C-alpha cells in the first residue's frame, strides 16, 4: 500500500481529477496548501508597499492506493498536471502501513477497492 | 427623466407668500438669498428645496448602486477573480464619470440634433447652479453621471475573467461617449428622435439596461468564452456578497427610479412604490420557477430575480399603477429565467447573465410599459395598450430595437478598434491562474503567509540583505 501525495497547481485540479477518475482511482483527499519550490516569487503591491509572495497557492492530493495502482495514479497525475512551467509541483510516494474502510472494517486492498453499488 | 417637460411654477397664492416675505424679512439678510421661492415666484424656473433635496439623495443612492453592483458581481465569480470583477465596477466611477463631465453630458443633453447633442457644455461649460427644471443644473448633470457610470459597469458582467484591465478601461471610456451619450440623447433629450416618437423610458430601461445588455452580448461574443468555460464549473465564491449586492442595488434603485421624477412629488412616490412592488413580484415568481426547475429557492436565484424585477420596472416606474407594476414584475421573471437556463447550455459565456437580466429584463419592461402606461397617473406620459393606445407598444419596440442594434454594433466596433492596438485577452495560462494577480498585483483574500516586504535596497538592485529561501539542490 502506498500513499501518493501530489502537490499541483490549483488550476490543474480539474484535469487531474478527470485523469484519476478515468484511471479508476476514485478515493482521494484534496486540500488547499501554500508552498514554495523553485519558482520566482511574485511581487504584489499593497498601499505602496511592495511585497514578495514567497508562498504560492497549491493543491495537495492524498491518494491511498494498492500496489498495482501506484504507477497508474502517478502517471495520471504527471500527465494531467504538467504545464512545463516552474511550479508544476511534486509527487511523493510514501509507504503506507495500513488502510481501513470505516464503514465495513475492511483492510488494505479491500479497503481501497470501490464497491459496485 | 420623463415626468415633466416644463418646470412648474412655485405653489401657493398671495397670502402664504406675504407671510413668507414677512417671516423672511425678520431673518438675517443673508437668509433672503435662500428664499428663491419668494423672489422667484414670478419666474417659471426656480430652485425647489424639496426637489433638490430628493435629487441630492437620489444621486447618492444611484452612486451606491455601482458599489452594490460590484458586490453582486464579485460574489458570483471564483475568488481568484474577485478583485478584477469588482474593480471593473469601481473604475467606472473614475473613467466613465470623468468622461461624462468632460464631454458625455454635453453629447447627451446638449442642443444638437435628433441623434446627438453637441459640445456646447463640454468641460461643464454653462453647467452651474442655475435651475434646470427645479433643481440646480449641476445636480442634474451629477445625477445623470451616476447613470452613465453604472451602465458602463453593468457591461463588465459579460466579460469577467478574461478581459485585460487596460482594454476594459479604454472600452468603457469610449463606449460612454460613443454609445451611451447618443442613446441617452435619443430618449431623454427633447430633441431626441425617440423622445419625438413618444417612446416611454422613465428611468432608463432602454438607455441603461437594454443598452448594457446589448453591449454585454456583443462583448461576450467578441471576446469568446473563458478558457475553462464548459469544462469547469465556475461557481460563485461568496453568495452572501451576491445577496448584499442585490440589497444595496434595491436600496439605490429607489433613487434611480424615484429620482427620475426630477422632483419630490407624486411621481417620485409612484416611482418608489413601483420599485418596491415590481421586484417583490419578480422574486415570488422567480422562487416558484426555481422550485420547479432547481428544486430549491436558491439565494443566487433570489438575488437575480430581484435585479430582473428592478430592471423591468425601470422604464415603467413613473407611468404605471402599482398593480400594473406587480404584473410587470411577475411577467418579467419568465423570459429572463428561461434565457438564463438556455444560456447555461449554449456556448455563450455571458458570465453573469447581463443579457438575460438587463437586456431581456429591460426589453420586457419597455414593452410592458407600452401596455400598462396611463396618463391618468402621469399626464406627461402616454396611454398604453390597456388604455386604448396599442400603438405605444410598437413605439416601445422600435425604441428597444434601435438601442439594441446601435449598442451591439457600437460595442463591436470599439472592441475591434482596441484590439488593433493591444490584445483584449491575457494568455490562457495566466487567465487560469487568476485575473487579480495579473491585472492588479493583489489577491482578494491574501493570508500574508510567507509574504516578505521588499526593502528599497532590493528594489534598487543591490544584493538583498533580507534572505530569500535557499533551496538545497537548486531549482526544484
Q: What is the pTM of this model?
A: 0.86
| CATH code for position A78 | 3.30.70.120
CA–CA separation, B252 and B67 (whole Å): 10
Query: B450 vs A53: CB contact, 8 Å cut-off?
Result: yes
Give the CA-trace dihedral at B108, B111, B117, B121, to 10 degrees.
-70
Report d(CA A41, CA B472) in Å as an integer.
17
Contact criterion met (CB < 8 Å) for A38 and B475: yes
In a domain, residue B135? The reply is: yes
The pLDDT tens digits of the residues spanning B51-103 come to 999 999 999 999 999 999 999 999 999 999 999 999 999 999 999 999 999 99
Q: pLDDT tens digits for B342-400?
A: 988 888 898 899 999 999 999 999 999 999 999 999 999 999 999 999 999 999 999 99
Q: Judge whether A24 lies within some domain.
A: yes
Domain with residue B218: its CATH number is 1.10.3430.10
Residue A105 domain-assigned (yes or no): no
Residue B127 lies in a domain: yes
CA distance B70 to B82: 9
User: Closest to B475 (Cβ–Cβ): which among A11, A51, A86?
Assistant: A86
In terms of residue numbers, what domain contains A26? 1-38+55-95
Is B444 part of a structural domain of the chain? no
Does residue A109 sit within a domain? no
* Of B90, B70, B169, B77, residue with least CA distance to B431: B77
Digit-coded pLDDT (tens) for B157-169: 999 999 999 999 9
Q: Which residues of B touch A84 (CB under 8 A)?
A: none
ipTM above 0.85, yes or no: no
Which band of pLDDT confidence, cut at 50, 70 and 90, is reported for residue B15? low
Q: Tell me if A61 is assigned to some domain.
A: yes
Decide if B133 contacts B45 (C-beta within 8 A): yes
Q: Which of residues A38 and B54 earns the better pLDDT score?
A: B54
- B454 lies in some domain: no
What is the number of structural domains in chain A?
1
Is B459 within the bounds of a domain? no
For chain A, which residues lie within 8 Å of any Cβ of chain B, measuring from their own Cβ? 9, 11, 14, 34, 36-38, 41-46, 49-55, 83, 85-86, 90
Strands A42-46 and A56-65: unpaired
Is B169 a domain residue?
Answer: yes
User: Would you tell me how many other CB atoms lie within 10 Å of the CB of residue B41?
Assistant: 16
Give the count of domains, chain B. 1
- Count of pairs with CB atoms under 8 A, one residue in A, one in B: 63
Is residue B374 a part of any domain in this protein? yes
Query: Which residues of chain B does A53 touch, with a Cβ-Cβ cutoff of 8 Å?
Result: 446, 450-451
Q: Within a domain: residue A49?
A: no
- Return d(Cα B222, Cα B459) in angstroms, integer: 40
Asked, for residue B466, whether it belongs to a domain, the answer is no
Provide the residue range defining the domain that includes B148.
49-430
Amino acid at each position: 500500500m502506498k500513499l501518493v501525495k501530489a502537490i499541483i497547481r490549483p488550476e490543474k485540479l480539474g484535469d487531474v481529477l478527470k485523469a484519476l477518475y478515468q484511471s479508476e482511482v476514485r478515493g482521494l483527499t484534496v486540500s488547499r496548501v501554500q508552498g514554495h519550490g523553485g519558482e520566482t516569487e511574485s511581487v504584489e503591491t499593497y498601499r505602496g508597499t511592495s511585497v514578495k509572495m514567497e508562498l504560492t497557492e497549491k493543491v495537495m492530493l492524498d491518494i491511498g492506493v494498492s500496489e498495482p495502482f501506484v504507477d497508474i495514479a502517478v502517471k495520471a497525475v504527471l500527465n494531467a498536471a504538467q504545464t512545463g512551467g516552474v511550479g508544476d509541483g511534486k509527487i511523493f510516494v510514501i509507504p503506507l502501513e495500513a488502510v481501513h474502510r470505516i464503514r465495513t472494517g475492511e483492510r488494505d486492498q479491500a479497503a481501497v477497492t470501490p464497491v459496485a453499488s | 427623466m420623463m415626468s415633466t417637460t416644463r418646470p412648474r411654477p412655485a405653489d401657493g397664492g398671495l397670502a402664504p407668500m406675504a407671510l413668507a416675505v414677512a417671516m423672511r424679512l425678520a431673518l438675517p439678510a443673508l437668509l433672503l438669498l435662500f428664499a428663491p421661492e419668494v423672489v422667484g415666484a414670478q419666474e417659471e424656473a426656480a430652485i425647489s428645496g424639496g426637489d433638490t433635496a430628493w435629487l441630492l439623495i437620489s444621486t447618492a443612492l444611484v452612486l451606491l448602486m455601482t458599489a452594490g453592483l460590484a458586490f453582486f458581481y464579485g460574489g458570483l465569480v471564483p475568488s481568484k477573480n474577485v478583485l478584477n470583477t469588482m474593480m471593473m465596477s469601481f473604475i467606472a466611477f473614475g473613467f466613465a464619470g470623468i468622461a461624462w463631465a468632460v464631454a458625455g453630458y454635453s453629447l447627451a443633453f446638449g442642443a444638437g440634433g435628433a441623434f446627438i447633442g453637441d459640445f456646447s457644455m463640454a468641460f461643464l461649460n454653462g453647467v452651474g447652479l442655475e435651475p434646470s427644471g427645479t433643481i440646480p443644473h449641476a445636480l442634474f448633470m451629477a445625477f445623470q453621471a451616476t447613470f452613465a457610470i453604472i451602465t458602463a459597469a453593468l457591461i463588465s458582467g459579460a466579460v469577467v475573467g478574461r478581459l485585460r484591465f487596460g482594454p476594459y478601461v479604454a472600452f468603457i471610456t469610449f463606449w460612454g461617449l460613443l454609445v451611451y451619450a447618443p442613446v441617452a440623447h435619443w430618449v431623454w433629450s427633447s430633441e431626441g428622435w425617440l423622445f419625438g416618437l413618444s417612446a416611454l423610458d422613465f428611468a432608463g430601461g432602454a438607455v441603461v439596461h437594454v443598452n448594457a445588455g446589448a453591449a454585454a452580448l456583443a462583448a461576450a461574443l467578441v471576446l469568446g468564452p473563458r478558457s475553462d468555460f464548459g469544462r469547469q464549473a465556475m461557481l460563485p465564491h461568496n453568495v452572501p456578497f451576491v445577496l448584499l449586492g442585490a440589497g444595496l442595488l434595491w436600496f439605490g434603485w429607489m433613487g434611480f427610479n424615484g429620482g427620475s421624477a426630477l422632483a419630490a412629488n407624486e411621481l417620485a412616490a409612484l416611482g418608489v412604490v413601483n420599485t418596491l412592488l415590481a421586484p417583490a413580484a419578480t422574486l415570488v415568481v422567480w422562487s416558484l420557477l426555481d422550485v420547479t426547475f432547481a428544486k430549491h429557492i436558491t439565494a443566487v436565484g433570489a438575488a437575480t430575480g430581484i435585479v430582473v424585477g428592478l430592471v423591468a420596472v425601470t422604464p415603467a416606474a413613473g407611468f404605471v399603477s402599482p398593480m400594473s407594476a406587480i404584473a410587470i414584475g411577475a411577467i418579467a421573471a419568465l423570459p429572463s429565467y428561461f434565457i438564463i437556463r438556455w444560456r447555461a447550455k449554449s456556448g455563450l459565456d455571458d458570465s453573469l447573465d447581463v443579457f438575460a437580466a438587463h437586456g431581456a429584463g429591460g426589453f420586457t419592461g419597455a414593452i410592458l410599459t407600452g401596455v400598462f402606461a396611463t396618463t391618468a397617473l402621469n399626464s406627461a406620459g402616454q396611454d398604453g395598450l390597456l388604455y386604448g393606445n396599442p400603438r405605444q407598444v410598437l413605439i416601445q419596440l422600435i425604441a428597444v430595437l434601435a438601442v439594441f442594434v446601435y449598442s451591439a454594433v457600437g460595442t463591436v466596433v470599439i472592441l475591434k478598434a482596441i484590439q488593433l492596438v493591444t490584445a483584449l485577452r491575457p494568455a490562457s495560462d495566466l487567465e487560469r491562474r487568476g485575473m487579480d494577480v495579473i491585472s492588479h498585483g493583489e489577491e482578494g483574500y491574501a493570508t500574508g503567509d510567507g509574504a516578505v516586504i521588499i526593502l528599497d535596497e532590493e528594489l534598487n538592485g543591490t544584493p538583498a540583505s533580507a534572505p530569500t529561501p535557499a533551496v538545497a539542490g537548486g531549482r526544484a
